């Protein structure tokens, strides 16, 4: 049968249409978004440069008058971001960010070295601290400091001795040994409080070399029957002194007697500002282990906000927590590993092999939650996948050049706010922790350059850093081997 011309034309048109490539609707498929308040972030970035630490003097009085919690065994302390304690006189916000990132890189190197030593069964007693000359001007120059675990980004006000003297101590979930600088000093760095004097405390007690706490130290020695300790960090910083017991006070919420703590007479490195370190790791000498805490939690406020929050021991976990299994590495009991199953961007799961975040039989790999690391590090393959997913959904945003360790940045200088893809962590049991936009797109200068605040790890270890944790109460439920994330609980 012959085809008439109109029918033939229609048939050809349909054939041609069927051969055309699909429309761009697949690229415009709606994805999950959230709003980044650019103006608010830039305002805080400007304000933090002019914050005066003297404003904290009145709050220090309040910190010693904290209201007791409902349980007699619960303790609470205020937490302060570094910039509210130390005035480091950065001339602009870009310089401040570079300083933070320099400290952060050294911190990550220190953690990975600690794990590597454990995996290779190398004892710290086989190592010797790097001898470096510390110049006075270096103490206020964090960009060149190379500080590691001792630098600290969040500080708590802790009482030591009887009568209690108040000191700013670094909060550190990546360390176990508690210590503070002590008189007499053979070498002490600059700190914001007067140096602790053991002669004015009635509860100061040296530990013998046979004491259980002394035996548990990684590096120890004996002098005149007294226990000596040394803690060395990955950047060559270290603290050396007597290992003693003292009373540790938590504001008005209580105190604990005979806590093992290092009384450091030789403390070399650029710790800057803090009197010492509060070890909250999972090892037997950490503060959490010594006071037999069933749980502890903290909420890290935005480092640019000038506000404070709390560090709490034995407080109940918030009912709305997104929980995940808390795992242990048999090679190293200090770190808090979490069972992460994946990451989503724009509501879509990123293609990441399931074993990427698992702790291997050798003890390598896995992902930890850390209070001292700022920027979340993901195993390189996982990072590349997450970054690529984010870039694919932000092609409408004006790109900017990379900055320091960030390779994905944007120019938001002409915007007040912007809608961006969501980023979420996923745990077993279909649990999802969704991050606020300001926890993964952060300003790196005052001009409106924002960067995607994730970075590749130089090792198999991944780390959830404190920028991603900001504004979230992170609860380590030690009794039930869970970690909980509760947004907006500061």
Please give the Cα distance from 431 to 390 (Å, whole number). 21
Instruction: Compute CA distances 30 → 89, 151, 326, 420, whole Å.
Output: 45, 43, 35, 12
Contact 243, 220 (CB under 8 A): yes
Please give the Cα distance from 345 to 393 (Å, whole number). 9
Instruction: Compute CA distances 158 → 277, 281, 287, 393, whole Å.
Output: 10, 17, 12, 46
> Tokens 């989503």 label which residue?
344
Catalytic residue among 104, 176, 193, 370: 370
Residue 154 tokens read as 């969040």
The reply to whether 370 belongs to the active site is: yes
The reply to whether 172 belongs to the active site is: yes
3-class SS of residue 99: helix
3-class SS of residue 313: strand
Catalytic residue among 172, 302, 445, 477: 172
Q: How far apart are the first and last CA of the chain?
A: 80
Please give the Cα distance from 458 to 315 (Å, whole number). 36
Residue 340's nearest CA partner among 473, 173, 461 is 461
Contact 310, 299 (CB under 8 A): yes
Whether residue 184 has a cis bond before it, omega within 30° of 0: yes
Please give the Cα distance from 222 to 210 (Å, whole number). 9
Please give the Cα distance from 339 to 157 (Å, whole number). 32
Please give the Cα distance from 395 to 333 (Å, whole number). 43
Contact 234, 149 (CB under 8 A): yes
Residue 395 tokens read as 């092609």
> What is the 3-state composition of the chain as percent helix, strand, coil, each rounded to the nearest 5?
25, 35, 40
Instruction: Compute CA distances 359 → 105, 337, 344, 462, whole Å.
Output: 22, 8, 21, 10
The HSE-up count of residue 193 (CA atoms within 13 Å, CB side) is 24
Contact 235, 110 (CB under 8 A): yes
Please give the Cα distance from 340 to 433 (Å, whole number). 11
- Sign of the dihedral defined by the CA atoms of residues 335, 387, 436, 94, in that order: positive
Please give the positions annotated as active site: 172, 370
């Amino acid at each position: 049968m012959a085809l008439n011309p109109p029918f033939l034309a229609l048939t050809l048109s349909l054939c041609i249409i069927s051969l055309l490539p699909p429309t761009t609707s697949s690229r415009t498929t709606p994805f999950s978004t959230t709003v980044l308040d650019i103006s608010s972030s830039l305002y805080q970035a400007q304000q933090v440069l002019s914050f005066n630490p003297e404003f904290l003097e009145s709050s220090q009085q309040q910190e010693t008058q904290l209201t007791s919690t409902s349980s007699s065994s619960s303790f609470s302390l205020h937490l302060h971001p570094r910039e509210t304690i130390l005035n480091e006189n950065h001339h602009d916000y870009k310089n401040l960010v570079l300083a933070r990132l320099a400290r952060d890189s050294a911190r990550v190197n220190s953690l990975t070295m600690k794990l590597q030593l454990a995996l290779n069964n190398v004892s710290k007693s086989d190592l010797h601290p790097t001898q470096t000359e510390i110049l006075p001007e270096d103490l206020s120059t964090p960009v060149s400091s190379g500080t590691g675990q001792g630098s600290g980004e969040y500080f708590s006000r802790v009482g030591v001795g009887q009568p209690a003297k108040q000191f700013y101590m670094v909060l550190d979930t990546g360390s176990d040994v508690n210590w503070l600088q002590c008189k007499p000093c053979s070498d002490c760095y600059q700190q914001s409080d007067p140096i602790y004097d053991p002669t004015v405390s009635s509860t100061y007690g040296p530990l013998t070399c046979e004491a259980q706490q002394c035996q548990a130290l990684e590096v120890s020695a004996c002098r005149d029957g007294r226990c000596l300790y040394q803690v060395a960090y990955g950047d060559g910083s270290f603290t050396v002194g007597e290992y003693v017991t003292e009373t540790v006070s938590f504001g008005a919420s209580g105190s604990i007697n005979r806590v093992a703590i290092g009384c450091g007479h030789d403390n070399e490195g650029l710790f800057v500002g803090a009197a010492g370190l509060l070890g909250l790791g999972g090892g037997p000498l950490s503060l959490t282990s010594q006071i037999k805490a069933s749980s502890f939690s903290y909420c890290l406020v935005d480092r640019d906000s000038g506000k404070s929050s709390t560090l709490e021991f034995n407080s109940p976990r918030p009912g709305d927590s997104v929980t995940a299994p808390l795992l242990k590495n048999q090679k190293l009991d200090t770190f808090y590993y979490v069972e992460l199953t994946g990451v989503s961007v724009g509501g879509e799961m990123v293609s990441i092999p399931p074993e990427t975040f698992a702790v291997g039989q050798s003890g390598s790999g896995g992902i930890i939650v850390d209070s001292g690391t700022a920027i979340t590090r993901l195993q390189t393959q996982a990072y590349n996948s997450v970054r690529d997913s984010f870039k694919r959904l932000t092609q409408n945003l004006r790109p900017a050049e990379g900055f320091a360790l960030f390779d994905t940045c944007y120019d938001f200088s002409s915007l007040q706010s912007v809608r961006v893809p969501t980023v979420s962590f996923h745990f077993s049991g279909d649990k999802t922790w969704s991050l606020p936009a300001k926890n993964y797109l952060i300003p790196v200068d005052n001009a409106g350059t924002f960067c995607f605040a994730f970075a590749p790890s130089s090792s198999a270890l991944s780390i959830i850093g404190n920028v991603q944790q900001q504004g979230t109460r992170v609860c380590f439920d030690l009794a039930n081997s869970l970690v909980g994330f509760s947004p907006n609980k500061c």
